[in-house]
Amino acid sequence: MASTTSARPPGRPRAGVNDAVFAATLSTVQELGYARATVERIAAAAGVAKSTVYRRWPSKGALIVDCLLDAFGPAPLEGTGRAELLASTIRWIAAKIGEPGVGDAFAGVFSDAVSDPALREILSTRLQDPYRLALQDALGEPETRVLFLIDVVVGVLLHRMGMTGAPMADADVDALVEMVLAHFAGGTGRD
């Protein structure tokens, strides 16, 4: 008689847990705000035990960073020239920060990192560095210029979210693109 048991162990698949936790994280942050979106509340919204979350992420900050990485995905470094690549990258990050819960989560973890060196390290190495390296390669720019580009763009977008509670309007994103292009489009790298 053939066995009807599956080769997969019982329980929810790992990717399914991560997807559920990430979705619950963004919806909880959007609904309650970053500060009130505790790991306990996120776990409950995801339908998992708090210990399940803590086995994967040692802190709320680490969870938020991985959630943001999942929400952002790889940077779509598109365009036939330097100006197009910069413009599409700025519009991409503006759209991502404008997605429900993403800007709130990003601003909250960023704010927490100001006084938490361990979280700052996680933000820098896990979230910023992959995008910085991709931009350095695509633009042929040194680290300091790419870090300044990231500071200017992300800083402006998060400031707008913090001050208004809403993502930047398309016309303002267009103005931001024009301002950034004036400084970075010529660049020092290849075109």
Tens of pLDDT, residue by residue over 26-70, are: 999 999 999 999 999 999 999 999 999 999 999 999 999 999 999
Q: Would you place residue 10 in the very low, low, confident or very high pLDDT band (cuts 50, 70, 90)?
A: very low
- Cβ–Cβ < 8 Å for 132, 150: yes
Supply the pLDDT for residue 8.
43
Residue 60 CA to its chain's centroid (Å): 14
Q: Which two tokens stand for residue 160?
A: 């707008």
Supply the pLDDT for residue 146.
95
Distance, in Å, from the CA atom of 92 to the CA atom of 75, rounded to the nearest integer, reads 8
- Cβ–Cβ < 8 Å for 98, 167: yes
Distance, in Å, from the CA atom of 113 to the CA atom of 115, rounded to the nearest integer, reads 5
* Closest to 60 (Cα-Cα) out of 101, 25, 102: 25
Q: What is the pTM for the complete model shown?
A: 0.84
Q: Taking residues 69-92, what's their average pLDDT?
A: 91
- Cβ–Cβ < 8 Å for 190, 142: no
